[in-house]
Amino acid sequence: MMGDLIRVMLVDDHAVVRAGLRAVLGEAKDIDVVGEARNGREAVALAERLKPDVIVMDLSMDEMDGATATKEIIASGSLSKILILTMHTEDEYLVPALEAGASGYLVKSAADRELVAAVRIVANGDPYLQAGAARALAKEFKRREQGASERNRFEDLSNREQEILRLVASGYSAPEIGEQLHISPKTVDTYKQRINEKLGLHHRSDYVKFALKLKLLES
């Protein structure tokens, strides 16, 4: 930062939105809006030239979205902190944006109340997350940990057991699986028993749920 002045760049594809954000930030004496970009591609180029302290970045834009622009700016070695400001509240938008390197996430409906504070916080090197965003992140990380555990359990199966698990989940009976793999239905049942014991599965529906979680049936 230049002294105590926080230099901010605005990135949004709507001029009216940028004007509103500039007006909100203009009320803070320690914040100076030094530039504006209409899309992610312009943002990447302008960030390199202006080197702002904070970039307020929209997510949904033509030519290059905000998450991609964030990733490129961070990858370039820029020291700018990126605050995502968007109308989207869904986890599917939040997590990729933060994984791309954003320092914070704020919904536009709260901009008039929280934007100035959010800019100050990320400029100081701290993350800014609204309560809902923090809960979403915790939920997503827990889901990924569970998925990793299930993936490890699947990888611990033998190749034959993995193959039979996929076939059972796909709806094939023991005789049909035996015919495909050139083994007896009784041998198929033996493999299924091993799978049940290792993974705690009991019914075909359990096989289907397990396979869907690990995306084993997509191909």
As separate numbers, helices (DSSP H) first and strands (DSSP E) second, the chain gives 10, 6
Specify whether 132 is located in the same domain as 151.
Answer: no
In tens digits, the chain (219 residues) has pLDDT values of 656 899 999 999 999 999 999 999 999 999 999 999 999 999 999 999 999 999 999 988 988 999 899 999 999 999 999 999 888 765 566 777 777 888 888 888 888 899 999 999 999 999 887 655 556 665 665 666 565 677 888 888 999 999 999 999 999 999 999 999 999 999 999 999 999 988 888 888 889 988 888 888 865
Domain termination site, one of 83, 110, 136: 136
Closest to 84 measured CA to CA, from 140, 30, 43 = 43
190 occurs within a structural domain = yes
Q: Output DSSP code: residue 5.
A: B
Q: Are 26 and 58 in contact (CB under 8 A)?
A: no
Q: In terms of domains, do 119 and 16 share one?
A: yes
Q: Dmax over Cα atoms in the chain, in whole Å?
A: 79
Classify residue 68: in a domain, yes or no. yes
Task: Give the chain's domain count.
Answer: 2
pTM of the entire structure? 0.62
Whether residue 94 contacts residue 119, with contact meaning beta carbons closer than 8 Å, is answered with: no
Name the residue range of residue 187's domain. 145-213
